Structure 1
């Protein structure tokens, strides 16, 4: 009996030592959980209270999880599909043919814009990327509700993964555009390639920021999906994809005069999608023109030194707004879903 009581006494002392030497956990952070497996990158995960994590920084630290989510989304999207990723060629191709016949041939845009098919397609591929990225990102949290309620992982991964999947679909369309440009005599330079890269980044950042915003709001208000659909329709027709920026300028000036029309045209130009599309026109379409097109009116003045930096700044501000809203609302995602 004495031995057992002594053992219990020692056990109590050991327990006391362990409790006094244990490190206090930081506020908002739960103990680490070890997960055995082949991937050492997932060996330790810090479980963080939703809303108190690192936000998009956690996405950068969880690149392997991001890769898994992108692969999962691609497999789910093309499950049972015969063509698979080839749909990334077919859908924009059909859209291009419809717009080309309706606008280029029937409405005579071919006569007003040199190499109108390339002008049209260079804008379509970018707008398609934005539409798909924002549409999927805004639904990503609700669509992965089961996964969010079962395990912990940075919730920002879902909108970012949706944008990554859309970027993968963008690559085949860009390849088709490059082939058409080379056939038309495209001779790119460093400035043109840089403009195309920055134009893509503007759209990607804008899609991530709006995806974070609407993805979090959609958990509480499902009507936001309909609002996003209307926003995408406006983005398609309000960007200089089907028509030139000079038509917008002349139309606004004729309808409202130089004063009000000039203000409205400036607002139109501040739109990051307008800036990104014009950067793609500058990169892919403008080098294919033979000189008949006036370079002073082919793209807006001060595109590279004024409008391009404005587009980058606005996209970054949208990401900041989206991240702020996401972190404020993500605390009750599991309960609302």
Structure 2
């Protein structure tokens, strides 16, 4: 009886998880192209909405929080401070939301053919990043008008902030994407997290206000939030260079123990990615049946 070498064959329905993205990158490019092409299909304004929607959101927060509630008090160049934080949080919210619904939105492909299911949430993250770029471009232009001077350290801080947001959104996204196929309640939990994320990070206020109201483990937990760390990296990259060093308005520089908070945020992102991948792998066995 002759034996057949099966080493070059894949076991149907199983793969190496996120690592398969490298092998199937041509499919990833197709999914990203599809996501970017269909977002504003049959829209008159098209990609202009990528500028209009964050602009209106910024304007509402700026007027309501900044002037009606005096949220700009004590923060120099409050428009840059506010928009830098909003850009980071908006990227997280869109990436997280898109990744959560990626499997359900592509049910036709999931039920008909096999391909690594992780490609769908990962492509959703990349599509969110593509739509994040116009907001980043606006932030760059406005920062330049306020006297911002780019530096290698500032650009590095920005890239690190983007990496943190993308990693956290991917980890949470694949976790809830797997659960959402069987239990659609997961999408409601995601909406709650997205709603809270804007207020759970120093976007509309300074972190010093949290320090005044909370201390000890509560403050450490708040500052270890990867989104909070990413927001502060964006503030340091774009807002901090526009503020005079001898200005009385606070805050200046990174919060105390920021290196520890950054390390904690990186560890949290790694753990969330691992837990998300394991959960996704467990639920993906029945994706076709549940859909």
TM-score for both structures, normalised by structure 1: 0.82
Alignment of 1:261-300 (within 5 A): 261-291=215-245, 292-293=247-248, 297-300=252-255
| Partner in structure 2 of residue 100 of structure 1 | 62
Partner of 1:14: none
Residues 140 and 162 in structure 1, CA contact (< 8 A), matched pair in contact too: yes
Rg larger for? 1
Q: How big is the shift at 1:189?
A: 2.0
Q: Are the equivalent residues in 1 in contact too, given 2:172–2:272 (CA < 8 A)?
A: yes
Structure 2: runs of 5 or more not aligned: none
Cα distance per residue 1:232-270 (max 9 Å; x no partner):
111111111000000111122xxxxxxxx3221111111
Within 2, Cα distance between the matches of 1:96 and 1:183?
Answer: 17
Higher RCO (C-alpha 8 Å, min separation 6): 2
* CA-CA distance at 1:193 after TM superposition: 1.3
Inter-CA distance 117–295: structure 2 relative to 1 (3 Å threshold)? closer
Matched ranges for 1:318-337 at <5 A: 318-337=272-291
Against the structure 1 CA distance between its residues 231 and 219, is the aligned structure 2 distance closer, same or farther, given a 3 Å change threshold? same
Per-residue deviation, 1:69:
0.3
Preserved contact between residue 163 and residue 207 of structure 1 (Cα < 8 Å): yes
| Mapped pair 1:161 → 2:109 | no
Could you tell me whether the CA contact under 8 Å between 1:121 and 1:177 is conserved in 2?
A: yes
Are residue 221 (structure 1) and residue 183 (structure 2) matched?
yes
User: What is the deviation of 1:23?
Assistant: 1.9
SS of the residue 1:100 aligns to: helix
Q: Distance in 2 between matches of 1:124 and 1:323?
A: 28
Conservation of the 8 A alpha-carbon contact between 1:245 and 1:299: no
Contact 1:276 1:311 in 2 (8 A): no
Could you say if the C-alpha distance between residues 200 and 23 of structure 1 is closer, same or farther in structure 2, counting changes exceeding 3 Å?
A: same
Contact 2:75 2:249 in 1 (8 A): no
- Look up the match of 1:209: 171
Partner residue of 1:301?
A: 256
The answer to whether residue 124 in structure 2 is matched with residue 170 in structure 1 is no
Shift of 1:78: 1.3
> Is 1:188 aligned with 2:150?
yes
Secondary structure, counterpart of 1:237 in structure 2: coil
- Partner residue in 2 for 1:49: 12
* Correspondence 1:20-35 to 2 at 5 A: 20=2, 23-26=4-7, 31=9
Q: What is the root-mean-square deviation of aligned Cα atoms in Å?
A: 1.6
Contact kept, 8 Å, 2:65 with 2:204, in 1: the verdict is: yes
What TM-score, normalized by structure 2, do the two folds share? 0.95
Distance 1:294 1:320 in 2: 41
Q: Give me the whole-angstrom Cα distance separating, in 2, the residues matched to 1:102 and 1:275.
A: 25
Tell me the distance in 1 between the aligned counterparts of 2:283 and 2:257.
39
Q: 1:232 aligns with which of 183, 187, 194?
A: 194
Aligned residues: 290
In the alignment, does 2:207 pair up with 1:245? yes
Q: Distance in 2 between matches of 1:116 and 1:300?
A: 18
CA distance in 1, matches of 2:270, 2:148: 31
